Amino acid sequence: MTASLTGTRIWLTGASSGIGAALADELADRGARVAISARRVDRLNEVSGGRMKSVPLDVTDHDAVLAAAEDVRDEFGDIDYAIFNAGAWTQTKIGHWDADAFRSQVEVNLLGTNSGIAAVLPRMLERKAGTIVIVASVAGYRGIPSAEAYGATKAALLNLAESMRADLAPTGVQVQWVSPGFVRTELTDANDFPMPFMIEADEAAAIIADNLGSGRPEVVFPLPMAVSMKLLRLVPQRLWTHIWSRQSSLR
């Protein structure tokens, strides 16, 4: 059953484009009080349209993340849902290993989420209420060529969310995670490989909003991609390597 979001206080990172921008609109349309964060101030203000609180933020700056959460609490009184959606994607060229690009994705995708959790969890524990939503990806289910950095960060987020959900179960603080397949965004527009079952960002946003507060641990979409990727977890490693080695950039 879809929970009412009217009057709920939501902080959303990575909101200047793609799924984040679409989700911000969807949440505001459903009556939520929404604070949005991203680095690109002009895009953030466009998304806000004067009906959301804009909190410009680079999630790789830990102290700035703590300050941003405090700013949102000062405005809203508290945070009911903290949705950590900020993400970076750079295709890995295995023959030209780019340690800086790898590090950048870790800093945004994983450590940025770590800072967000640090910013909201203590207060949620005090209240014995609140929901942390971590946006991961089906790319975290198994290792795929050219996604070494991105996939590693998303696998880490899946493990993090699952661990936190169990650890926080007695407290009243909820943890959900979102595992999108291919969604049409600026990130996927740059890809040069097939992207099956792709959906639009506004459809993804509606699915996420429908499931906030549902108690469902994982929100994964689109359905064909979800089923396919979960079944592929069962493929033996030797066969997996044989299949995917054909996609290696070194062939």
Amino acid identity of residue 195, one-letter, is: M
Coil, strand or helix at 15:
coil
Structure tokens at 102: 């790898």
Q: Phi and psi (nearest 5°) for 104?
A: -60, -40
| CA atoms of 113 and 56, how far apart (whole Å) | 16
- Is residue 141 annotated as a catalytic residue, yes or no? no
Question: Hey, what are 221's tokens?
Answer: 């979409």
Residue 76 in tokens: 């809203």
* Cβ count near 38 (within 10 Å): 25
**Which one is catalytic: 150, 177, 182, 221?**
150
Reduced to 3 states (helix: H, G, I; strand: E, B; else coil), residue 35 is strand
| Phi, psi dihedral angles at 189 (to 5 degrees) | -60, -25
Task: Provide the Cα torsion 239, 241, 243, 246; round to 10°.
Answer: -150
Active-site residues, by number, are: 150
